Amino acid sequence: MADTLPTSRVGTPDIYQDLRQRLTMGGFAPGQKLLPGPLKDEYGCSANTIREVLLRLSAAGLAQYEDQRGFRAQAASAQRKSDLTKFRILLEQEGATASIRRGGIEWEAQLTAAHHKLSHIEAEIDRRGMEPPVVRLWCTAEWEFHDALGAACGSPFLRQTFRAIFDQFRQQHVTEAGKYGFATGNVAEHRRIVDAALDRDEAACRAQIHAHLERNLLPDS
Amino acid sequence: MADTLPTSRVGTPDIYQDLRQRLTMGGFAPGQKLLPGPLKDEYGCSANTIREVLLRLSAAGLAQYEDQRGFRAQAASAQRKSDLTKFRILLEQEGATASIRRGGIEWEAQLTAAHHKLSHIEAEIDRRGMEPPVVRLWCTAEWEFHDALGAACGSPFLRQTFRAIFDQFRQQHVTEAGKYGFATGNVAEHRRIVDAALDRDEAACRAQIHAHLERNLLPDS
DNA sequence: TTGCAAGGAAATTTCAAAATTATCCGCATT
DNA sequence: AATGCGGATAATTTTGAAATTTCCTTGCAA
């Protein structure tokens, strides 16, 4: 007969994705404990399933795991953010320059499309401020833009590492003053990155990526 | 009273480390299934504990995980190896140049020590061939050398990513003709890398790192 | 002989509970 | 008053088994 249970019952992808989003969008305070007990009730599953999800999230760097001491949301610190930024700049520059060398017309199209979508949403935010429904749109749009930059780099490893770093980078920002890492200068900076990329100017593209992110670096670096 | 069980019984770090070593040193064929059933008997624990370890290993890239289809040792392919090499060259070059800029006398000492140890072992291998007990020594010595190169880069993220890539890189090589990624030219190449690093010559160091690894790249790259 | 379907065996995934371990709080001692 | 020791409580980790899914084999029909 037809199943009476509304639960999806296919692996644990829903729980993983939901917790990942909560971790990267401020659902938990930086050092907060992630208790399997309450979470299992919330998601209507066993503590072991929660544990499995948290284990994968800690492998992705979004949570911390200490043996016999459970899970915590990743801690936030200026040093961590700076290191994250430094590494992100490196990966994004490499991905962009490789894409400039290897990418064709379809890459340009994808990049232009992603930038168009992003700038539209950012204009909306400039007008009406950051409201929760728009913020989620902005998050995916900004990811898609920065992902499109390196989409033609030809290295799956570079891209998957960049994705992991990007998520952690955002996680560090979400905790700050509810700004979600959005600044008013972003619109112009994104445009300058796209222009340099479409001009196939590797050096300029590198410089613009650095300029876009350098405000997150500590002075010493 | 004193425990009668000889098992360590503290978390699962032993199982993780042991399986990690087996995966990076040829204990499993490339696409081989990693069955929780036999493994739980071998390690004397439950299938769920094995599952937890395999989950972490797949997050580290050493195993594959497909939903509802279990775990496999990571597959080997020329393309994967090439991409891995490309990314490793990038990370190792960045780590080395940053260390050259930031490292002090203690970094030089650590690097020299690691190289001395490695070259001693490699000389031993040149004389007596590659026997199992020596191979394990060589693996840790080669890791310690390449790790020492970037030890002063100041970026924990760069180093931990490099470690993950290095493991997967070795995993791709172990499956080939029992060579474990060792070639007779290595001794000289390692020396040239050290010399360039101690000379604080960033460009030369980059070039030597590339020369050391380029034989693993596919022509197109 | 080939293709397909159904049945059965094996493996994976989830669950609930037991066992182990850490954390917290009160009490005695210094 | 501060420190160290025990016991109670809570959380984590492991376990063994049930439920679900996949894979393989066998039989049937075209």
Residues of A whose CB is below 8 A from B67:
10-11, 13
Cβ–Cβ < 8 Å for A170, A139: yes
Cβ–Cβ < 8 Å for B25, B139: yes
pLDDT of residue B175: 80
Residue A62 has pLDDT above 50, yes or no: yes
- Tens digits of per-residue pLDDT, B151-160? 999 999 999 9
- Tens digits of per-residue pLDDT, B73-117? 999 999 999 999 999 999 999 999 999 999 999 999 999 999 999
Asked whether residue A68's C-beta has any atom of DNA/RNA strand D within 7 A, the reply is yes
According to DSSP, the residues that pair with A65 across neighbouring strands are A71
Residue labelled with tokens 């032993």: B14
Residue A35 has pLDDT above 60, yes or no: yes
> Which A residues in the span 56-115 are in contact with B, Cβ-Cβ below 8 Å?
56, 59-60, 67-68, 83-84, 86-87, 90, 94
List the single range of A142-151, A176-185, A202-211 with lowest mean pLDDT.
A176-185
A143 confidence band (pLDDT: 50, 70, 90): very high
> Which residues have a Cβ under 8 Å from the Cβ of A166 and sit 6 or more positions away?
A88, A143, A146, A147
According to DSSP, the residues that pair with B147 across neighbouring strands are none
Residue A13 has pLDDT above 70, yes or no: no
Name the DSSP class of A34.
E
Cβ–Cβ < 8 Å for B212, B189: yes
Chain mean position to CA A58 = 15
Two structure tokens written together for A202: 């590797």
- Tens digits of per-residue pLDDT, A179-204? 676 777 888 999 999 999 999 999 99
Q: What's the rounded Cα separation, in Å, for the pair A165 and A95?
A: 13
Find the CB nearest A157 among B60, B83, B155.
B83
Q: Are strands B63-66 and A70-73 parallel, antiparallel or unpaired?
A: unpaired
pLDDT of residue B181: 67
Are B67 and A157 in contact (CB < 8 Å)?
no
Q: What's the rounded Cα separation, in Å, for the pair A134 and A95?
A: 28
pLDDT of residue A201: 98
> Which residues have a Cβ under 8 Å from the Cβ of B18 and sit 6 or more positions away?
B43
Residue B1 has pLDDT above 70, yes or no: no
Q: What's the rounded Cα separation, in Å, for the pair A184 and A182?
A: 7
Are B60 and A59 in contact (CB < 8 Å)?
yes
- Tens digits of per-residue pLDDT, B158-196? 999 999 999 999 999 988 766 676 777 888 999 999 999
Asked whether residue A46's C-beta has any atom of DNA/RNA strand C within 7 A, the reply is yes
pLDDT of residue A129: 82
pLDDT of residue A181: 67
A149-169 burial, b at 16+ Cβ within 10 Å, e below that, comes to bbbbbbbebbbebbbbbbbbb
> Which residues have a Cβ under 8 Å from the Cβ of B4 and sit 6 or more positions away?
none
Cβ–Cβ < 8 Å for B152, B102: yes
Order the strands of the A63-66 sheet from edge to edge: A33-34, A70-73, A63-66
Asked whether residue B68's C-beta has any atom of DNA/RNA strand D within 7 A, the reply is yes
- Tens digits of per-residue pLDDT, B29-78? 999 999 988 999 999 999 999 999 999 999 999 999 998 899 999 999 99
List the domains of chain B with CATH numbers: 13-73 (1.10.10.10), 78-216 (1.20.120.530)
Q: Is B22 exposed, middle or buried (0-12, 13-18, 19+ CB in 10 A)?
A: middle
Q: Which of B66, B157, B220 to mutate to test the interface with A (most CBs of A within 10 A)?
A: B157
| A–B CB contacts, 8 A cutoff, strictly below | 56
Residue B3 has pLDDT above 60, yes or no: no
Residue labelled with tokens 């004389």: B127
Residues of B whose CB is below 8 A from A81:
none
List the single range of A54-63, A171-180, A184-193, B24-33 with lowest mean pLDDT.
A171-180
According to DSSP, the residues that pair with B68 across neighbouring strands are none
Q: Which 3-state string (H, E, C) describes B105-121? A: HHHHHHHHHHHHHHHHH
Instruction: List the one residue out of A13, A12, A20, A10 whose CA is nearest residue A57.
Output: A20
CB atoms within 10 A of CB A4: 5
Are B86 and A52 in contact (CB < 8 Å)?
no
Residues of A whose CB is below 8 A from B158:
87, 90
Instruction: List the one residue out of B147, B154, B90 whose CA is nearest residue A162.
Output: B90
Find the CB nearest B11 among A55, A68, A94.
A68
Chain mean position to CA B45 = 27
- Tens digits of per-residue pLDDT, A77-91? 999 999 999 999 999
According to DSSP, the residues that pair with A70 across neighbouring strands are A66
A14 confidence band (pLDDT: 50, 70, 90): confident
Asked whether residue B155's C-beta has any atom of DNA/RNA strand D within 7 A, the reply is no
List the single range of A3-12, B18-27, B35-44, B164-173 with lowest mean pLDDT.
A3-12
List the single range of A2-11, A105-114, A211-220 with lowest mean pLDDT.
A2-11
Q: Provide the residue count of chain B.
A: 221
Asked whether residue B4's C-beta has any atom of DNA/RNA strand C within 7 A, the reply is no
Two structure tokens written together for B172: 């791709």
Instruction: List the one residue out of B195, B24, B214 whose CA is nearest residue B115.
Output: B195
